[in-house]
Structure 1
Amino acid sequence: MTRTLPDMEWRHRTGLDHLLQVLEAGEGMSRYVGGAVRDSLLGLPVSDVDIATRLLPQHVMNRLQNAGIKAVPTGIDHGTVTAVLSGWPVEITTLRRDVETDGRRATIAYSDDWREDAARRDFTINALYADPLSGEISDYFSGLKDLEEKRIRFIGNAAERIEEDHLRILRYFRFLARFGIPDPQAEDYRVCVAKTNSLMALSRERIADELMKLLAVSDPLPALRLMVDGSIFAPVLPEIERSGLDRLARLIERESGSGAEPSSLRRLAALLQPDSRTADAVGARLKLSNKARKRLALAHDAAWSHIHKPAELAYRIGRESAVDRLLLDSSRPIADARGLLSWEKPSLPIGGGTLVKKGLAAGPLVARALQKVEQRWIDEDYPGAERVNAIADEIVDQLLQDSQNS
């Protein structure tokens, strides 16, 4: 029986019908492909829309520009042009076949054969095409059956597909976490295990990007267990061990109980030993941004263990990092983290200039006094300006008295 694409909301986005006319979808020149087709069949929300076309990239550019559609040559050397429709992008890629691959990048040639284009994709469930007008699904490698049976399967020979792009090992586990049922007996899993060392040839940025996407899945644990059992992390992230899975399991449960959104960084912190130096080293190796690297290290920094009040912790290290620490620490009530989710950092309603006006000489003494005022303000749960002014009077009077007696 012929399967058709469900009539999802994304198919009615502004400008899409016009784009399809420009790309001659009615004449069989262009089809939807990949995630939009897969997710629509599963009834999941669709964010990214991809179109495969027989038209050559420069022809796509010319047609879009002539039709008044914003065209961006995002990857034109590899056949991809992005059309921007009312602020949202659609990636349009000319049908391709691989000429040569080295595990990181491919030399391609353009094609007009749908099956040839499908054959170069990674997994069967990602090689589904849909006619934009009729909705008819084209399935060249039994992707529909695999989708129904929750099986993640490489197209063709798994070892060859991994040799074409080593990142497909990590993508296998990400798609397994989202759409599949983990099976330690699956042949494709065994091939991934055998090819694990090839991950060392990848840039750490690509590894980090794929790992963060995996950790963002609602429940990545079953796939991660297979990865740990197969020593998938050993060549690039040996710090991730089985004990980390137990910590992650507790974290996921606490995230859910607190109402906190899942965080890939927080989950990565759970996978690592609770040591800030280890966390920082992993962040550096994965070439995370300075902000992400700092957050990862703060999750395990013992220097903040003496602060027990959630709001004070958030004030000192930031709300995100405070929530991370509270959720990672299973000895803390979940309510502590829940109470910070909508917390906004208050501003101390007094400055050093006010303390000078109260009689302190500008310099180190003012800084000391301001710290004391701030700590009292925090201890009293951030009272308003009137109370802070009274606290400042007390502290200034005491400091002036101490200086006279010394």
Structure 2
Amino acid sequence: MAVTEPDTLPAAEWMTRPGLDRLAAALGAGEGCARYVGGAVRDTLLGLPVSDIDVATIHPPREVVARLQAAGIRAVPTGIAHGTITAVADGTVVEVTTLRHDVTTDGRHAEVAFTDDWQADAARRDFTMNALYAGMHDHRLHDYFGGVADLRAGRVRFIGDPLRRIAEDHLRILRFFRFLARFGDMPDPAGLEACIARANDLMALSRERIADELLKLLVARDAVGVLRLMTAQAIWLPVLPEIGPAAVDRLAVLVTAERAAGIPPDPVRRLAALLDAGNAEGVTARLKLSNLQRRRVATALGAATGNPLALGYRLGIEGAVDRLLLAGDPDAAAQVAAWQRPSLPLSGGALVERGLARGPDVARALREVEDRWIAEGFPDAARTAAIADAVVVQALRSSSN
């Protein structure tokens, strides 16, 4: 990825969102008291769209709340114990966090203390590319650990000692690989070595946190290449041994099919590619996915046989597209994705009017009509009526015998 190297952050659409100027004034950005930080700065340097905006400030949390309220900006204490206030200014939502440094950590949680030292705040962040700041008023860049150079090189690098950073938060192992898949061209050797050495630390994490990182990684730019690296180095072995070389091969088939069909990547579909009918139920339960996500994975792993449109009708568009892409059939998947699923132009009441008694006979006959309608390629109402006539005649004859 090409990275610009200005002294100031390039102009971007998100900087003109309503309320940001009011927020900057309320926090004293003109006096150097508040700066944009993290993803918004990183992604702007990469020319990527920005969704979430984060601001760091020297002001303690209670003062942040007081300043926002005085300026008529809504302040929501979403994480005030850790220094985070959600500011809502003219509809624009911004996370405002007081500068801080870690006091104690246990690999999952940290106790923090507030500070007015910008470099100390930067030093507690995970990767150099995430420790970039830009003034809210002048957009001047502040880079304490070579993050811009690492962005330019496509290098994902821990700040400080990688082993220590992983000990502070074990999730950083998975974040290292996710950021490598999204932004990187090369892993920092020391960081990769530390992740390999501490892979067993992943067992201390909640399965929800693991699932969240995995789903994000799966839709990253180089998900297949990075997952190959992770399986080669046994990163998943302690928590998801099902993700091996064969699973990544299946994912590669899916990614190729998605691109050929022009269908955007989907994390749940890509997770299904890593699984099979024998392990999917256990893995999705272990990861504590929602019931909807678990059903989608199970549906995706079924057989993609017969007419693609018939599959789309019976499973729904999403389920059929998932199956067809997992089967490596991009043409059929694209056909179903562009299809408007029709409704059967006939009701059970129409069969009663033709002479069937209400009850199980109507339900059976309606299923038969639907099956024939699907087999004939979803004909119009006139042809469907003719099918219904034939089905009712057959049903009445059978009941009279």
TM-score, normalised with respect to structure 2: 0.95
The residue identity in structure 2 corresponding to 1:363 is G
* 1:373 alignment counterpart: 369
Of 102, 106, 126, which residue of structure 2 is paired with 1:102?
A: 106
How far does residue 66 in structure 1 lie from its aligned partner after superposition? 2.5
**Contact 2:17/2:92, CA 8 A, preserved across alignment:** no
CA distance in 1, matches of 2:293, 2:102: 36
Number of the residue aligned with 1:10 = 14
1:150 is aligned with what amino acid? G
2:193 counterpart of 1:195: no
1:189-209 alpha-carbon deviations (Å, 9 max, x no partner): 011011011111111111111
Indicate which of 229, 243, 256 corresponds to 2:259: 256
Q: Which amino acid aligns with 2:79?
A: G
Distance in 1 separating the partners of 2:81 and 2:356 = 67
Mapped partners of 2:310, 2:104: distance in 1: 57
Aligned partner (choices 74, 84, 88) of residue 84 of structure 1:
88
Gaps of 5+ in 1: none
Q: Please state whether the residue corresponding to 1:32 is helix, strand or coil.
A: strand
How far the C-alpha of 1:381 sits from its partner, in A, is 2.0
Is 1:310 matched with 2:308? yes
2:296 aligned residue: 295
**What residue identity is the alignment partner of 2:345?**
P
Q: For 2:270, which of 256, 267, 272 is the aligned residue?
A: 267
Distance 1:352 1:308 in 2: 27
Q: Provide the residue aligned with 2:332 in structure 1.
A: 336
Tell me by how many angstroms 1:345 deviates: 2.5
Shift of 1:57: 1.4
Look up the equivalent residue of 1:309 and give its one-letter code. N
Partner of 1:362: 358
Aligned-partner residue type, residue 186 of structure 1: P
CA distance in 1 between partners of 2:68 and 2:345 (Å): 55
Q: Match for residue 52 of structure 2?
A: 48
Distance 2:67 2:380 in 1: 62
Distance 2:390 2:75 in 1: 65
Moved beyond 6 Å, runs of 4+:
none
- Cα deviation for residue 326 of structure 1 reads 0.5
SS of aligned partner of 2:263 = coil
CA distance in 2, matches of 1:55, 1:347: 59
Structure 2 SS opposite 1:338: helix
In 2, distance between residues paired with 1:191 and 1:67?
46
Is residue 159 of structure 2 the alignment partner of residue 155 of structure 1?
Answer: yes
Matched AA of 1:32: Y
Query: Does the residue aligned with 2:55 lie in a helix, a strand or coil?
Result: strand
Contact 2:35–2:134 (CA<8 Å) still a contact in 1?
A: yes
Q: Is the 8 A contact 1:158 1:191 kept in 2?
A: yes
Is the aligned partner of 1:213 residue 2:216? Answer: yes
Provide, for residues 70-96 of structure 1, a one-character-per-residue CA deviation record: whole Å limited to 9, x for no partner.
222221221111112343421111101
Q: Tell me the distance in 2 between the aligned counterparts of 1:294 and 1:84.
A: 37
Matches within 5 A, 1:123-134: 123-134=127-138
Q: Distance in 2 between matches of 1:12 and 1:196?
A: 42
SS of match in other structure, 1:370? helix
Greater CA drift, 377-386 or 283-292: 377-386
For the Cα contact (< 8 Å) 2:75–2:88, is it kept in 1?
yes
Distance 1:96 1:351 in 2: 65
- How far the C-alpha of 1:59 sits from its partner, in A, is 1.8
Instruction: Write the distance in 1 (CA, Å) between the matches of 2:139 and 2:20.
Output: 14
| Cα root mean square deviation, aligned | 1.5
Which secondary structure does the structure 1 equivalent of 2:222 belong to? Answer: coil
Q: Structure 1 residue 137 and structure 2 residue 160: aligned?
A: no
Corresponding residue number in structure 2 for 1:400 = 396
Mapped pair 1:346 → 2:342: yes
On the 8 A contact 1:182/1:226 being kept in 2, the answer is: no
Q: In the aligned structure 2, how far is the partner of 1:86 from the partner of 1:319?
A: 38
2:169 aligned with 1:168, yes or no?
A: no
Query: Within the alignment, does 1:323 sit opposite 2:321 as a pair?
Result: yes
Deviation at 1:2, TM superposition (A): 6.7
Q: Secondary structure at the match of 1:90?
A: strand
Q: Quick check: 1:124–1:143 contact (8 Å CA) kept in 2?
A: yes
**Which of 59, 64, 68 is matched with 1:60 structurally?**
64
Q: Which runs of 5+ in 2 are unaligned?
A: none
Name the amino acid aligned to 1:256.
Answer: R
Secondary structure in 2 matching 1:339: helix
Structure 1 residue matching 2:126: 3-state secondary structure: coil
Percent identity of equivalent pairs:
57
Q: For residue 286 of structure 1, what is the aligned residue in structure 2?
A: 287
| TM-superposition CA deviations, 1:203-243 (whole Å, max 9, x none) | 11111111111111133122111111111111111111111
CA distance in 2, matches of 1:81, 1:258: 43
Counterpart residue type for residue 322 of structure 2: D
Query: What is the alpha-carbon distance in structure 1 between the residues aligned to residue 231 and residue 242 of structure 2?
Result: 11
Amino acid at match of 1:343: W
Q: Secondary structure at the match of 1:294?
A: helix
CA distance in 2, matches of 1:295, 1:310: 18
Partner secondary structure for residue 354 of structure 1 = helix
Output the CA distance in 2 between the equivalents of 1:212 and 1:324: 16
Distance 2:371 2:106 in 1: 58
Q: How high is the TM-score relative to the length of structure 1?
A: 0.94
Contact kept in structure 1, 2:280 and 2:298, CA below 8 Å: yes
Distance 2:243 2:64 in 1: 45
User: Is the alpha carbon distance of 1:134 and 1:239 closer, same or farther for their aligned partners in structure 2, counting shifts above 3 Å?
Assistant: same
